[in-house]
A and B are shown apart, each in its own frame.
Chain A
Amino acid sequence: MHEYVQEVGALTMRWVRRLSREKFSMLFTLVQPMLFWLIFFGNLFQRAADVQVTQAPNYISFLAAGVVVMTVLNNGLAGGVDLLFDKENGFLERLMSTPINRTSVVVSRFLFVTTITCLQVLVILGVAWFFGVEAATGLPGIAMILLISMLFGVGLTAISMALAFSVKSHGDFFSVLGFLSLPMIFLSSALVPLQAMPAWMSFLAKFNPMTWAIDAVRPLILSGWAEALPKIGMVVMIMLVFDAVCLYGSARAFRRAMG
């Protein structure tokens, strides 16, 4: 157990060190493009979006939940990139030639990505607060939002790692990611509530785990616990299944790649 903590700690520190070496990348990790969605998209549609449809005091407060989960989506899907580069330049092989538990590298990545995601979610909520969006459920609600983010993030990071272990080149990796992320956003309740979507889109959106995450985060910000609790129960169950499936797939891909 002590050995496991030692190796996972060292591997996680490596990710932190790498990030701190790239000053620009660190800046852009915190001031991420997702903020633009909140600031520009949120304000842009302030008058175009119908308050009757969004059931929110204004569009930006409606959008906040969507941007939070979009952040989780982007971070999670990109979470395997560094392992992909490690695989390509042989560093992963060097790590695997040491007497570490086979899960340590992957676990360190989960820890790091989850931590970064939580920090970013807090930044998003901070910026939303600046624009007058206050979480109706207060600090406990924010803690709950972080928990939902983590649950969703684990499955997404697992998908990303599975992809990283399976693809032949990093070109393939980025094309698949680019292909996945926009439909995931549009076919969810991030920008528009399900009821306001064309029937076929809202039908597809119901199968998107992102929709469920957003629908649980949104009442935590807009209304309160009474409305949020049943949704939270639902999303926790869905996320547990989602994570289990993703982790299983990722473990298989890892075993295939590492012999």
Chain B
Amino acid sequence: MGRAVAIETIKLRKTYGTLTAVDDLTFQVYAGEIFGLLGPNGAGKSTTLRILITLLRPTSGQALVLGHDVAQEPDTIRRLIGYVPQERAIDRFLTGREHLLLLADLYHLPKDEAQRRIPELLKLVDLEDRADQPARTYSGGMKRKLDIACGLLPNPKVVFLDEPTLGLDVQSRLRIWDYVRQLKARGITIVMTTNYLDEADQLCDRLAIIDGGRIRAMGSPAELKAGLGGDIVSLTIGASDAGRVDALAAALRALPMVRAVMAKPAGLDIRVESSEKALPAVLEAANRTSCRLELVDYHRPRLDDVFVAHTGHLIREEFPQGEQD
């Protein structure tokens, strides 16, 4: 297939002493796509990102960004990429415009180019009105916008976003998603980490699900969901019957139409070929093991089902907590 590759990693590995942060990562990011690294905190997403932006050296394996090796040519790569860090990496005392002026000099932009690009970027992220106020007066969402403007200043071919909407309120998240889509429309390749399933599902063209430092599954959200196949029947079981859940799980696993049974808080998720055909048998099994079902629900596989199926556990989702700081 002739798709241009923007980023390629081959058996990438990073260890700290005895701890392996990422292990045997091999993936490709195509030019012009939004590629997501999805996983819980501590899965190795940020480590992978830091290797790609040349802030960390891999222990072994190789990573190429736009054809340049991260270990051999870090300086060339730094000139070609933009980075939006996870923390609000903002100097409280500088104004938004001063942030951009500082970075313009660090990217060695000529004065006239900086004069032209900075107002453009402030306009893109709707910060024109507040550009000359110190960043300590900014809300969380505004800081994030400034972060993004900073990441775009060098006119990069690839932009790396580390948890772009962590801790933002719903409106701000939607705005940020909108900016990310605009970048893609300009032909920029985007690599982002996230631990939000909905973000991965709606924003990313392709995903790598990372857990425990390894890639567990890779593909577009639709492919990943289709790959699971069938339906998910979700049972909620009362606390009084918690002791009988194991017996029910065993009974379900014995059924021919059941592909997998996974425990979840206060119930079970059952992957089946077809919920219509499986439901009577599932209910019968619950009856047989005297488990009282509080709620029975069935749906097509969602990304959270994909995640559970490949990692064996739920992603520990932190809900957006509104603006902080």
Q: How far is the CA of A11 from the CA of B150 in the complex (A)?
A: 16
Docked Cα-Cα span, A22 to B94, in Å, equals 11
Among B57, B85, B106, B154, residue most surrounded by chain A Cβ atoms (within 10 Å): B106
* Interface flag for B108 (CB, 8 Å): yes
A10: B residues at CB distance < 8 A? 101-102, 105-106
Q: Give CA–CA (A97, B105) in the complex, Å.
A: 13
- Do A9 and B108 touch (CB < 8 A)? no
Known contacts A7-B106, A99-B78; is A17 also within 8 Å of B98 by CB?
yes
Query: Which of A56-64, A88-96, A217-225 touches B?
Result: A88-96
The answer to whether B106 touches A89 (Cβ under 8 A) is: no
Q: Helix, strand, loop or mixed for chain A's interface?
A: helix
How many residues belonging to A are interface residues under a CB distance threshold of 8 Å? 25
Interface residues of A in 1-27 (CB under 8 A from B): 3, 6-7, 9-11, 13-14, 17-18, 21-22
| A18 lies within 8 A of B75 (CB) | no
B93 within 8 A of A: yes
How long is the Cα–Cα vector from A94 to B79 in the complex, in angstroms?
A: 13
Residues on A with beta carbons closer than 8 Å to the beta carbon of B85: 90, 93-94, 97
Task: Kindly list chain A residues whose C-beta atoms are within 8 Å of the C-beta of B81.
Answer: 97
- Report which of A11, A17, A18, A94 forms a contact with B83, defined as CB distance below 8 A: A94
Task: Mark interface residues in B78-113 (1 if CB within 8 Å of A CB, else 0).
Answer: 110101011111110110001001110111100000
Q: Is the interface of B mostly helix, strand, loop or mixed?
A: loop
B108 proximity list for chain A (CB < 8 A): 3, 6-7, 99
Instruction: Give the nearest-CB partner of A97 in chain B.
Output: B83
Q: Complex: how many Å from CA A258 to CA B56?
A: 8
On chain A, the residues within 8 Å of B91 by CB distance are 14, 18, 91
Instruction: Identify the interface centre among B53, B81, B86, B108: most chain A CB within 10 Å of its CB.
Output: B108
- B219 at the A/B interface (Cβ < 8 Å)? no
The reply to whether A91 and B89 contact each other, CB–CB distance below 8 Å, is yes
Give chain A residues whose Cβ lies under 8 Å from the Cβ of B75: 99
Q: Are A22 and B89 within 8 A (Cβ)?
A: no
B19 to chain A, nearest CB (A): 15
Contact A14 B94 (CB under 8 A): yes
Given contacts A18-B93, A259-B56, contact A98 B87 (CB under 8 A): no
Q: Are A98 and B94 in contact (CB under 8 A)?
A: no
Minimal Cβ-Cβ distance residue in B for A92: B89
- Give Cα distance in the complex from A9 to B101, angstroms: 12
| Smallest Cβ-Cβ distance to A96: which chain B residue | B55
Is A240 close to B, CB under 8 A?
A: no
Residues of A within 8 A of B105 (CB): 6-7, 9-10
A240 to B94 CA separation, bound complex (whole angstroms): 36
Q: How far is the CA of A18 from the CA of B105 in the complex (A)?
A: 17
Chain B nearest CB, measured from A96 CB (Å):
6
A18 touching B56, Cβ below 8 Å: no
Any B CB within 8 A of the CB of A100 = yes
Q: B47 to nearest A CB, angstroms?
A: 11
User: Which of these, B79, B90, B107, B134, contacts A21 with CB under 8 Å?
Assistant: B134
Cβ A89 vs Cβ B93 within 8 A: no
Q: Is the CB of B94 within 8 A of A17?
A: yes
CA distance A89 to B136 in the complex (A): 13
Closest to A21 in B: B93
Q: Would you call B89 and A93 a contact (CB within 8 A)?
A: yes
Q: Which residues of B contact A89 (CB under 8 A)?
A: 87-90
Once bound together, how far apart are the Cα atoms of A258 and B54, in whole Å?
10
- Chain A 142-172 near chain B by CB (<8 Å), digits 1 or 0: 0000000000000000000000000000000
Which residues from B are CB-within-8-Å of A13? 102
In the complex, the answer to whether A94 meets B150 with C-beta atoms within 8 Å is yes
- When distances are taken between beta carbons in the complex, the residues of chain B under 8 Å from A14 are 91, 94, 98, 102
A3 to B83, CA, bound (A): 21
Q: Please name 10 pairs of A and B residues whose Cβ atoms are closer than 8 Å in the assembled complex, sorted by A.
A: A9-B105, A14-B98, A17-B94, A90-B87, A90-B89, A94-B83, A97-B81, A99-B75, A99-B107, A99-B108
Beyond the given pairs A17-B93, A91-B90, A259-B56, 15 more chain A to chain B contacts, judged by CB atoms under 8 angstroms and listed by A's residue number, are A3-B108, A6-B105, A7-B105, A11-B106, A14-B94, A90-B87, A91-B89, A93-B55, A93-B89, A95-B106, A96-B55, A97-B54, A97-B83, A99-B107, A100-B106
